[in-house]
Structure formats: C-alpha cells, structure tokens
C-alpha cells in the first residue's frame, strides 16, 4: 500500500488521516504540539467554528457527522442587534430546516484524531515539528522531541500545516509557484458571556450580530451555555478607542449596549489578559511600522515581535501541488479572513475532493494531484474573495434596507424556484456547488435582480 506523510494534526490534517486510513494507506502524521487530548489548555486560536454543508459532507464520508453535529448548537438565523440595545432584526439563513452548527474546535479535532487512530496503519507523531520538504530527495524533514532531524520518505506528502505552512515555504522557492499574502488592517479579540441562572443569557440558536459600520461584534453559543463573543475592528479603532480599560468600557457601552450588560467585568478585563495586551501591542506596532509616522521616538521605541494570531490575512497560491508527490490542503493552500465561516468547511471539502479525485484516478497519485490542483485552485481563490466580501456585509450591509429587501427577495425566489434560484449565501453554505461557480452565478443573480428593480 502507498504511504502518505501528513504535516500537521490540526483539523484538516486529522481529517485527511481519517480518509487515507479508510483507503487502507500507511499514514504518518507529524504534529509539533503535544497530543491535544492530553492537554489541559490548548493554546492558539479558539474562535468559534460554524460547520456548514461542505464540512458536514466531508465528516459524513468517514462516519463522524452525526456525532459531531450532536455536540454542537444549531444556528438558524442572524439576529441583528440595534444600537439602543432593544431593537432586533431576524434574518433566516435559508429555508426552514437549513442551518449551520456552532462547534468546538478542540472537541472536533480530538474526535478526528481518535477516529483515525482506530486503524492500525495510522501513526501520529506528536511533538515533531515539520521543517521543510527536501524536493530532490522527496522527503519530509521533521525535528523530533530530541531535537534531531528525521527524514520521512513517502509516496505522498500532504501539507496540512496551516497558514504559515513550512511545506508551502519549501515549494515557494521553485519557479512556477505563484503565491501571495495580503494583510488587512483589522484584528479581533475574543470575550465570553457566562450563563445567567444556569441558562443561556441570549437566545442560543441564532448568530448574534452587532454591525456598526467600521467594526462588528458577533456571538455564538457553546454547549456549556456560554457564548463566545468576538469583536472585529480596524487596528486603528483598537488603538484609538480601546487603549485603556475605561475606554474599552465606554466603547462597548456606546456601541453594544445589551452585549455590554451581559459581558460585565469581562469587558474591563480585556486589556488585562495577556492575549489582549499582546494584541494591543501588535495593533499599535503594525500601525506604527507601516503608516506614516513623523516622530522618530515613536519609531525607535517600538519593538517588532513577530506574532501569529489575532490578525486577518489572506494567503493564496497556485498550483496547490508540486510534481507527483506534494499537495497543500486547508489553510496551507488558502488561508482566508474568517468572515464567511468557510475556512474549516473549505479545508474539509479539500479532503473530500482529494478522496473523490483519487477514486476517479484509481489511486494514481500523479494524475490525482494535477487534476485536484486544476479544480481546487479556482475554488480557493473564489472563497478567499467571497470571505473578504462578506466582511462588508457583516460590518454594514445587513443594516441597509436595500440589503434586507434583497435577502427577502432571494429567499422568496428560492422558495418558488428551489433548483434554479439559490441565494449566494445559501450556495456557499448549504450546497456543494463549487465556489468558483458560486461566483459566476452571483454575477448572474445581480443582473437579474437589477432588472427586477425596474419592475418593482
């Protein structure tokens, strides 16, 4: 049987391990962290995940869908909170029954690792840091717990090592590998709303949204009756309007009145927690590094620590494969801003598409990789663009009467023509229509709607 070496045991790496285990391949997974199942606290991103149709299909193929979905919280609509803290507007995600599921990253990751390990041909190597790929020798180079280099030979090397992928870095020095990274000057901070008298403090089965033009607050329910609350804003807003605990308080009071009352002391403590301090530091560093500064002292005082969290960035590359033995999937191939909730779903669909392509090619790796890349690059580019576009919606558009009308019209047309008129959000979230085709259809829908306007 062929052997696959997987870089990274995060969500996409672990799911790929499940797929290749099912296929009967020898699977080795290399992960720089300890086994998260043995850890008390898992550092790194905790931002809530919303599982939608593409992710569900990918989990279903390895028999994990129901188990995961049952551990989550269904979300059926967006609930937009007015500035006065009293008015609300409810926007259903789709037709009755269509919903997304708020799930816990860690729980999901653990379940998939356990699932993969059930097969005897699968082996996880934790605390093994992937360094690079030796292209000439077709080896994955890994540093083990004793700090020595291990050279892993495999028929296929899968880069599932996230946005800052070491595998991708090895490919990026080769001619013909197109690559771009783009930062947006926005960041995010997470907060929590605790249960109230043992119950959810807000309605649980909706996606709570406080859109305020330049910035936005969201809240998603967890199974333990808490909410994870995230504020997205330009760095300049963090720096100028939230630089002291007092400022943070009045900023929240002014803009997110009802959320503020539930968040309580949590708001004040935002800037006492290390991650937030770190973030405020990064925010001010970035604006100072790259924007016009005319004070030498300000420059000189700054330090320029690298940091890998709390910022929004796009990474894209083309192709996703190299020769007949390397493939990038998940964030390693296409890191996107988090505004469409499709980062994980797209990564999971990668695993499914890879599996389908291997089936179509009778496990011929060489054929599979170029065919996969051909298909998947344009879908990745499309969802990266859509994710950025959705930020505009979340920040502002949802408040506009024309947007609300469009949403209503969309759902109305969808009810009448369920096959031929699927709203953009529904195509992305509730179907497996390739993302690039969603983009094409969107152009068509916009045109039709503008004709409607004339008649309405």
Residues in touch with a copy of itself (CB under 8 A): 135-136, 172-183, 185, 282, 286, 289-296, 299-300, 302-307, 311, 313, 319, 322-324, 364-367, 370-371, 373-374
Question: Strand, coil or helix: what is 30?
Answer: strand
Nearer to a copy of itself, 87 or 298 (CB): 298
Strands 129-134 and 139-143 turn out to be antiparallel
* Measured distance between the N- and C-terminal CA atoms of the chain, rounded to whole angstroms: 63
Least distance to a copy of itself, CB of residue 371, Å:
7
Least distance to a copy of itself, CB of residue 361, Å:
9
Least distance to a copy of itself, CB of residue 171, Å:
10
Say how far apart CA 85 and CA 246 lie, in whole Å. 20
Nearer to a copy of itself, 114 or 178 (CB): 178
Residue 300 backbone phi and psi in degrees, to 5? -65, -35
Least distance to a copy of itself, CB of residue 214, Å:
19
Can you state the angle between helices 343-360 and 11-22, rounded to 10 degrees? 20
- Percent of the chain as helix, strand, coil, to the nearest 5: 45, 25, 30
Nearer to a copy of itself, 30 or 322 (CB): 322
**51, 345 in Cβ contact below 8 A?**
yes
Nearer to a copy of itself, 86 or 305 (CB): 305
Name the region of 368 (left: φ>0; alpha: ψ -120 to 50; beta: rest): alpha
Question: Strand, coil or helix: what is 168?
Answer: helix
The first and second tokens of residue 18, run together, are: 């499940």
Q: Which helix (H) or strand (E) holds 14?
A: helix 11-22
User: Cβ contacts of residue 242 below 8 Å, gap of 6+?
Assistant: 248, 251, 270, 271, 280
Nearer to a copy of itself, 41 or 296 (CB): 296
Tokens 């947006």: give the residue: 184
**7, 130 in Cβ contact below 8 A?**
yes
Nearer to a copy of itself, 127 or 385 (CB): 385
Cα 430 to chain centroid distance, Å, stands at: 17
Least distance to a copy of itself, CB of residue 89, Å:
35
* 396-433 residues labelled b (16+ CB within 10 A) or e (exposed): bbbbeeeeeebbebbbebbeeeeeebbbbbbbbbbbeb
Nearer to a copy of itself, 59 or 317 (CB): 317
Can you state the angle between helices 105-117 and 11-22, rounded to 10 degrees? 30
Nearer to a copy of itself, 67 or 290 (CB): 290
Nearer to a copy of itself, 166 or 221 (CB): 166
Least distance to a copy of itself, CB of residue 337, Å:
14
Nearer to a copy of itself, 90 or 291 (CB): 291
Question: What are the Cα distances from residue 393, in Å, to 340, 368, 402?
Answer: 10, 37, 12
Least distance to a copy of itself, CB of residue 137, Å:
10
Nearer to a copy of itself, 304 or 444 (CB): 304
Least distance to a copy of itself, CB of residue 292, Å:
5
Say how far apart CA 358 and CA 365 lie, in whole Å. 7
Least distance to a copy of itself, CB of residue 3, Å:
16
Least distance to a copy of itself, CB of residue 338, Å:
16
Least distance to a copy of itself, CB of residue 161, Å:
15
Q: What is the DSSP letter of 196?
A: B
Q: What pairs with residue 318 in β-bridges?
A: 178
């Amino acid at each position: 049987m062929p052997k696959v070496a997987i870089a990274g045991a995060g969500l996409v790496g672990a799911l790929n391990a499940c797929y290749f285990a099912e296929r009967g391949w020898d699977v080795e997974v290399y992960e720089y962290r300890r086994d998260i199942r043995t850890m008390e606290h898992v550092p790194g991103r905790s931002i809530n995940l919303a599982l939608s149709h593409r992710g569900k299909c990918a989990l279903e193929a390895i028999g994990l869908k129901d188990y995961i979905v049952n551990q989550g919280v269904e979300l059926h609509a967006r609930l937009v909170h007015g500035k006065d803290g009293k008015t609300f507007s409810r926007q259903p995600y789709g037709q009755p029954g269509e919903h997304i599921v708020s799930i816990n990253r860690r729980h999901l990751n653990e379940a998939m690792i356990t699932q993969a390990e059930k097969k005897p041909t699968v082996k996880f190597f934790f605390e093994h840091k992937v360094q690079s790929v030796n292209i000439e020798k077709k080896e994955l180079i890994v540093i083990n717990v004793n700090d020595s280099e291990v050279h892993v030979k495999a028929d296929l090397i899968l880069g599932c090592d996230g946005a800052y992928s070491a595998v991708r870095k090895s490919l990026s020095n080769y001619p013909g590998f197109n690559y771009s990274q783009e930062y947006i000057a926005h960041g995010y901070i997470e907060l929590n709303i605790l249960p109230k008298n043992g119950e959810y403090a807000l309605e649980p089965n909706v996606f709570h949204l406080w859109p305020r033009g330049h910035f936005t607050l969201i809240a998603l329910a967890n199974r333990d009756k808490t909410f994870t609350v995230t504020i997205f804003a330009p760095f300049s807003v963090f720096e100028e309007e939230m630089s002291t605990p007092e400022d943070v308080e009045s900023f929240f009071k002014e803009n997110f009145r009802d959320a503020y009352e539930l968040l309580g002391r949590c708001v004040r403590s935002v800037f006492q927690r290390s991650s937030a301090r770190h973030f405020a530091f990064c925010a001010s560093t970035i604006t100072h590094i790259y924007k016009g500064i005319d004070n030498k002292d300000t420059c000189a005082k700054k330090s320029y620590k690298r940091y890998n969290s709390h910022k929004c960035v796009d990474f894209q590359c083309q192709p996703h494969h190299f020769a007949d033995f390397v493939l990038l999937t998940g964030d390693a191939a296409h890191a996107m801003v988090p505004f469409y909730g499709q980062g994980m779903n797209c990564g999971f669909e990668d695993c499914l598409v890879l599996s389908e392509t291997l089936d179509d090619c009778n496990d011929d790796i060489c054929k599979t990789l170029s065919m996969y890349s051909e298909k998947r690059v344009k879908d990745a580019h499309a969802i990266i663009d859509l994710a950025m576009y959705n930020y505009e919606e979340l920040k502002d558009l949802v408040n506009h009467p024309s947007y609300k009308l469009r949403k209503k019209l969309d759902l109305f047309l969808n009810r009448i023509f369920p096959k031929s008129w699927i709203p953009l959000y529904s195509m992305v979230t509730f179907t497996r229509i390739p993302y690039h085709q969603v983009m094409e259809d969107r152009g068509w829908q916009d045109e039709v709607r503008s004709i409607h306007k004339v008649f309405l």
